[in-house]
Amino acid sequence: MKELILAINPGSTSTKVAVFENQDAVLMVTIRHDPEELFGFDSISAQFPFRKKHVLETLRINKINIGELTAVVARGGALRPMSGGTYRVNELMLEDCRNGYSGQHAINLASLIADEIAKEKGLPCFIVDPPGMDEFPEIARISGLPNMPRKSKFHALNQKAVGRWAAKNLGMKYEEARLVIAHIGGGTSIGAHENGRVIDVNDCYDSEGPFTPERAGTLPVGAVVELCMSGDYTLDDIRKMLTGKGGMVAHLGTSDMREVVKRIEAGDEKARLIYEAMAYQVAKTIGSQSTVLRGRVDAIVLTGGITYDEHFVEMITGRVAWIAPVKVYPGEEEMKALAEGALRVLKGDEEAKEYIV
């Protein structure tokens, strides 16, 4: 049976729109928004009519008949912690997106836009593996201070999707597999997946784990405390050091890995050292997540934009291939992952979950 699924994924200055016929994309568009125009809105939620209009106009221009759709799926917003899976969009979810329950971000608009389009045509509406997904056992939450618990914040949608693909290629179900999955990009998250659940992962949004092209990653805590108390920097200065001006940017003045590779090829030894150090830290974190799975790992999966760099992948593989076979899925396929989540429910392979307090 043909299922025609509309997927919506807003970013800070863009909105991705895709239409899938089952698993095949028939439309994939990124709508670029003028930042100056967005600055004219007094809140994220105020952008809703503007963004919805652009989504509908894109569908019209590309001759997509909304009446032929069978479902609408959205990138999950900044919601309450929940387990992974496909969820029906309900009123509590919409209210939390409007109010920014876990923070204000353009991603909160996804469910709101999808829900209105779906309701107009009487279609089911879903989100899939939202960013606030939390499947940690209690032991994984413990840090050295009781008022600073570890949190599950990572590239949930893409990690779960490639986990399913890798398990299938291994002749297994994702719910049976034990995988270490590393999403390596502007942010890097490395998770231990056990029987369909992400039981540990570094908080890549709060400087935990490897440094990245623009994030500092885990730092010596004593030195950070001294920096904060020096009086030389504001809170905003320090936040920018951790995210935006850290990592490759701090060391080499660029976050463009292609530029780093060019420098290495031209004989820049500092660039080579920092490049190798980033791969070293990724490999080290993969090793630590392997211990979470007690060393019983079916595969190590590498994904994200930086995994298009074959030499970078080789440096990681050389350090971790003794643990388990390494599988590589370059880039990210979030729109496809959204459509696949909705499709599993439409076909009866998965039961949609309810978002509750």
Cβ pair 96, 123 in contact under 8 A: no
pLDDT for 39 equals 85
CATH number of the domain residue 251 falls in: 3.30.420.40
Distance in angstroms (rounded) separating the CA atoms of residues 176 and 61: 43
Considering the domain architecture, whether residues 56 and 204 belong to the same structural domain is answered as: no
Q: Judge whether residue 89 has pLDDT over 90.
A: yes
Regarding whether 69 and 183 lie in a shared domain, the answer is: no
Strands 71-75 and 4-10: parallel
What pTM, to 2 d.p., does this model score? 0.92
Does residue 62 carry a pLDDT above 80? yes
Name the residue with tokens 């971000």.
105
pLDDT of residue 37: 87
| Residue 211 included in any domain | yes
Q: What's the whole-number mean pLDDT along residues 214-219?
A: 95
User: At 356, phi and psi to the nearest 5?
Assistant: -135, 165
Q: Which range among 108-117, 121-130, 198-207, 210-219 shows the weakest confidence by mean pLDDT?
A: 198-207
**Same-domain check for residues 290 and 160:** yes
Q: Is the pLDDT score of 354 beyond 90? A: yes
Distances, alpha carbon 239 to alpha carbons 206, 212, 248, in Å: 9, 15, 16
1 has pLDDT over 80: no
pLDDT of 217 > 80? The answer is yes
* 195 and 262 assigned to the same domain: yes
Predicted confidence band of residue 118 (pLDDT cuts 50, 70, 90): very high
Q: What is the pLDDT of residue 52?
A: 96
State the pLDDT confidence band at 318, using cuts at 50, 70 and 90: very high
Same domain for 340 and 312: no
Residue 187 is assigned to a structural domain of this protein: yes
Average pLDDT over residues 320-331: 98
Number of domains in the chain: 2
Q: What pairs with residue 7 in β-bridges?
A: 18, 73
Q: Is the pLDDT of residue 43 over 90?
A: no
Q: Report the 10 Å Cβ neighbour count for 269.
A: 9
Classify residue 88: in a domain, yes or no.
Answer: yes
Whether residues 212 and 251 share a domain: the answer is yes
Average pLDDT over residues 83-92: 96
| Residue 340 sits in the same domain as residue 315 | no
> Mean of the per-residue pLDDT values for the chain?
95
Q: Tell me, yes or no, whether 102 lies in a domain.
A: yes
Averaged pLDDT for residues 332-355: 96
Residue 338 has pLDDT above 90, yes or no: yes
Secondary structure class of 38 (helix, strand, coil): helix
Please say if the pLDDT value at position 27 is more than 90: yes
Verify that 91 and 213 share a domain, yes or no: no
Tokens of 69: 């759709």
Query: Does 110 map to a domain?
Result: yes
SS3 316: helix
In a shared domain, residues 193 and 207? yes
Rounded Cα distance, 300 and 286, in Å: 8
* DSSP symbols for 56-78: HHHHHHTT--GGG--EEEEE--S
State the pLDDT confidence band at 270, using cuts at 50, 70 and 90. very high
* Strand 188-194 versus strand 178-184 pairing type: antiparallel
- Closest listed residue to residue 17, CA positions, set 80, 61, 47: 61
Confidence of residue 114 (pLDDT cuts 50, 70, 90): very high
Would 303 be classed as within a structural domain?
Answer: yes
Length of the chain: 357
Q: Determine, yes or no, domain membership for 151.
A: no
Strands in 106-236 per DSSP E: 125-128, 178-184, 188-194, 197-201
Checking if the pLDDT of 44 tops 90, the result is no
- Residue 322 tokens read as 């003794």
Residue-level pLDDT at 9: 95
Question: Residue 16 belongs to what domain range?
Answer: 4-134+335-346
Residues 217 and 70 in one domain: no
Residue 103 backbone zone (phi > 0: left; psi -120 to 50: alpha; other: beta) = left
**Beta carbons of 72 and 5 less than 8 angstroms apart:** yes
In a shared domain, residues 162 and 274 = yes
Domain co-membership, 263 together with 200: yes
- pLDDT at position 237, please? 95
For residues 102-129, give the mean pLDDT: 93
Question: 148-195: per-residue pLDDT in tens?
Answer: 999 998 999 999 999 999 999 999 999 999 999 999 999 999 999 999
Asked if pLDDT for residue 292 goes beyond 90, the answer is yes
Q: What pLDDT, on the 0 to 100 scale, is given for residue 207? A: 84
144 within domain boundaries: no
